[in-house]
Amino acid sequence: MRAVVHAGNGRVRVDEVADPRLCAPTDAIVRVRRAAVCGTDLHVLAHHEALPRGFVLGHEFAGEVVERGDAVHGHELGDVVLAADYTACGRCWWCRRGDHWQCAERRFFGTGSLFGAPLAGAQAELVRVPFADTTLVGLPDGVDLDAAVLLGDTVATGYAAVRRAGLEPGETVAVLGGGPVGQVTSLVAQACGAGVVVVVEPVAGRREVAAREGALPAAPEDARGVVDGVTDGRGADVVVDAVGGDRGLALALDLVRRRGRVAAVGVPEDTVELPAARAFTEELGVSFAVGDVMRDAEPLLALVRAGTLDPAAVVSDRISLDEVPEAYRSMSERLTLKPLIRL
């Protein structure tokens, strides 16, 4: 089959690789009909020491079940499915709680060994899916593949942030970062009843996307003034950091009101500074969240089917597999927002 693979030194190429095979009775093989290029893919390439040459990339996908193990009972051959971006056993204490990211059997598609045991990715014609009954979600009528492919990571991440922050109807939300996760977080917050949503982003084109989709855009240097203007100077009730690192957390703490909540979904550095004394005095809530469509598929699919949430609004390009290397370059230079791969 053809797939996007790591070509060494942070580069990618399209190559012929062996078709995946069932390795366990709980596995399924999915023929990929949609995949996507994600900021996490760029993050992985920047840490290419965890990514062998020839490793198949990609973790956002939807497609058709074409083979299944004897222990897969939730999906039939021919079923159209979306997938979580990582696997989980579905049976352990963590999974039974809906905390699939904490499962000891977790494997993240297409990211080498950066987040645990490696598992070949989905920017490919076929992909092996461990624990298929848990990892795959059947796609109901009324949900287009272009939207479905984004539910497994981008949308699930935005939703996890909004839920983790305990958003109440009418509250003001500031979203740091106008990349795909930040834009979708804005859409999810609006769908879940937020009042004003401010998207803070340095790139003018991405601010334009945020404004088109119902948010109030702000450049980072103007963010405090914009937030103050819509909150009578209090600060945002909720801030979602979709940037990560010290820079994102520092700005989040600058924008949040006293007794407000910060939820971080951007990949952090190993160590970030937290002004603990201020956090105590102002009773700030600071938390971190990882998306989990295995847990949250039902409300997300309901929002999409109702037309309340349209994740495909952030899609900037629809491309073939051959065009993926150029899409990686464009994303790294912030020239494109969210490329979808149609196979």
Q: Where are the domains of the chain?
A: 2-139+310-342, 157-288
Q: What is the pLDDT of residues 272-322, one digit of tens each?
A: 778 889 989 999 999 999 999 999 999 999 999 999 999 999 999 999 999
Which range among 112-121, 154-163, 194-203 shows the weakest confidence by mean pLDDT? Answer: 112-121
pLDDT of residue 23: 97
pLDDT of residue 269: 67
The whole-number average pLDDT for the span 178-191 is 97
Structure tokens at 5: 């693979």
The whole-number average pLDDT for the span 9-14 is 93
* pLDDT at 169 exceeding the cut of 80: yes
* pLDDT at 85 exceeding the cut of 70: yes
Q: Which CATH number does 2-139+310-342 carry?
A: 3.90.180.10
Mean pLDDT of the chain: 95
* pLDDT at 38 exceeding the cut of 80: yes
CB of 151 closer than 8 Å to CB of 304? yes
* pLDDT at 245 exceeding the cut of 80: no
202: pLDDT confidence band, cut at 50, 70 and 90?
Answer: very high
Q: Which CATH number does 157-288 carry?
A: 3.40.50.720
More confident residue, 200 or 275: 200
The whole-number average pLDDT for the span 85-97 is 98
pLDDT of residue 175: 98
**C-alpha–C-alpha distance, residues 210 and 196, integer Å:** 12
Q: What is the pLDDT of residues 128-158, one digit of tens each?
A: 999 999 999 999 988 999 999 999 999 999 9
**C-alpha–C-alpha distance, residues 52 and 6, integer Å:** 7
Q: What percent of the chain has pLDDT over 90?
A: 88
pLDDT of residue 270: 67
